[in-house]
A = this chain, B = another copy of it.
Amino acid sequence: MRLSDLPTPALVLDRARLRRNIEAMTRRYQALGVRLRPHLKTSKSADVARMAVEGHFGGITVSTLKEAEHFAAHGFRDILYAVCISPAKLVQAAALIRKGVALTLITDDLDTAKEIAFQGGKLGVMFEVLVEVDCGEARSGVAVESEDLPAIARALHAGPGSVLAGVLVHGGQSYACRTLQAVTEVAEIERSTAVRAAQRLRDAGLPCGTVSIGSTPTALHGKDYSGITEVRCGVYMFGDLFQSEIGSCGHGDIAVSVVSSVIGQRRKENRVLIDAGALALSKDRSTGNTPHDVGFGRVLDMQAGDSLGDVTVVGVHQEHGMVEGRTPLPFERLPVGAKVRVLPNHACITSAAYDRYHVIDGSDEIVAIWERCNGW
């Protein structure tokens, strides 16, 4: 099957670009001598995961226990679930550990740490747990100088059903940066916070085997990773328009796109309608606060080129995308039924609307179908 034969809307993954993005990150981390633990929350695909761990130690990061189960079923054995655990999820986590998965959890809460330690004993497993430390994102994580940090660590170290595995930091404020210099500064804050947190544990006589940091921008633009044992990042594999705006990739690196059909023309308004709307593209507007606001996505021709002009999806209804050009649209090339490709603002969110990738690699032939693991 060819790209142009796909029923629309459909999600396309360009394996050549994916490979190039993965190899660039792999070369970087092999040169740095730092372990890379790829985050699979973007792709949710075992096929992508196998490419991402190549040349690395094999550990991966996930954002849901469903992903953990999916990747475990596909042979992955070292999995970090990098969202703070709630106690009701411990039974599910224990089941994975009993199957032989080295599953690592995270927490930033003292009562939860005690509950993990207790539940592990009750469930007959040892939960490996990292303490999440905030480095300025203000999403989750304890303050590095807080009394909570050693207290949580001590509770996990005390057991009976938990092992203090180390600390985890996420420099997610890098997404708000608009210059590479600013990203580099966040990367150093992320690193130094993690190293300081590890030092505090060691000063308290506690072990800290893992010092984990990461976000795609800081993983790409940090200058120093000393004291760090592993780096997590994920969206670098696919890239997207937002990552392009903050300097993580170029448009030519973006590996996922949505193939869509024109379903209407409105020549007076210099507009066409496509069958990719709010569900097919998502309502993510993350380029809205960047210099190049592309609405709900950038519209390319079927060769992923910009021969249609500077064309974006300016609005979405559930199954309608409203496409406009900054210059007159080439309507003769966009009759009803014509197909286009749309680059996403945010690869993680757009991809989540689909249960599979149609994979291309160097031509317009669909060379594989790769399944995704959605939901919870």
Option from B282, B318, B335, B374 in Cβ contact (under 8 Å) with A63 = B318
Q: Does A128 contact B (CB under 8 A)?
A: no
Pair A89/B7 contact, Cβ less than 8 Å: yes
From residue A256, how far is it (CB to closest CB) to chain B in Å?
A: 15
The CA-CA distance from A65 to B333 in the complex, in Å, is 25
The CA-CA distance from A49 to B310 in the complex, in Å, is 42
Q: A283-B284, A336-B111, A376-B7 are in contact. Are A353 and B352 (CB under 8 A)?
A: yes
Q: A41-B319, A172-B317, A263-B140 are in contact. Are A336 and B112 (CB under 8 A)?
A: yes
Pair A355/B375 contact, Cβ less than 8 Å: yes
Option from B83, B111, B138, B269 in Cβ contact (under 8 Å) with A335 = B111
Pair B109/A336 contact, Cβ less than 8 Å: yes
Closest to A113 in B: B336
The CA-CA distance from A134 to B238 in the complex, in Å, is 39
Residues of A with Cβ closer than 8 Å to B?
A: 7-10, 41, 63-64, 83-89, 92, 107-109, 111-112, 115, 138-140, 172, 261-266, 269, 273, 275, 278-280, 282-285, 317-320, 322, 335-337, 348-349, 352-355, 374-376
Contacts of A111 in B (CB 8 A): 335-336
Contacts of A284 in B (CB 8 A): 278, 283
Pair A263/B355 contact, Cβ less than 8 Å: no
Pair A108/B264 contact, Cβ less than 8 Å: yes
Pair A337/B87 contact, Cβ less than 8 Å: yes
| Stoichiometry, copies per complex | 2
Pair A264/B349 contact, Cβ less than 8 Å: no
The CA-CA distance from A200 to B40 in the complex, in Å, is 56
From residue A60, how far is it (CB to closest CB) to chain B in Å?
A: 16
Pair A320/B280 contact, Cβ less than 8 Å: no
Pair B265/A109 contact, Cβ less than 8 Å: yes
Option from B64, B88, B353 in Cβ contact (under 8 Å) with A375 = B353
Contacts of A84 in B (CB 8 A): 263-264, 273, 336
Q: A86-B261, A263-B83, A336-B112 are in contact. Are A273 and B317 (CB under 8 A)?
A: no
The CA-CA distance from A83 to B320 in the complex, in Å, is 8
Contacts of A279 in B (CB 8 A): 349, 352
The CA-CA distance from A10 to B352 in the complex, in Å, is 16
- Across the A-B interface, give the 9 residue pairs with the lowest CB-CB distance, nearest first: A86-B261, A84-B263, A283-B283, A112-B336, A87-B337, A109-B336, A140-B264, A63-B319, A86-B337
Given contacts A7-B89, A278-B349, A355-B375, 8 further A-B contacts (CB under 8 A): A7-B88, A7-B376, A8-B376, A109-B264, A140-B320, A278-B348, A318-B348, A353-B374
Closest to A134 in B: B266
Contacts of A10 in B (CB 8 A): 376
Closest to A282 in B: B283
Contacts of A7 in B (CB 8 A): 88-89, 92, 376
Q: A10-B376, A92-B7, A139-B317 are in contact. Are A336 and B263 (CB under 8 A)?
A: no
Pair A8/B336 contact, Cβ less than 8 Å: no
Looking at A140, A279, A335, A348, the one whose CB has the most chain B CB atoms below 10 A away is: A279
From residue A7, how far is it (CB to closest CB) to chain B in Å?
A: 7
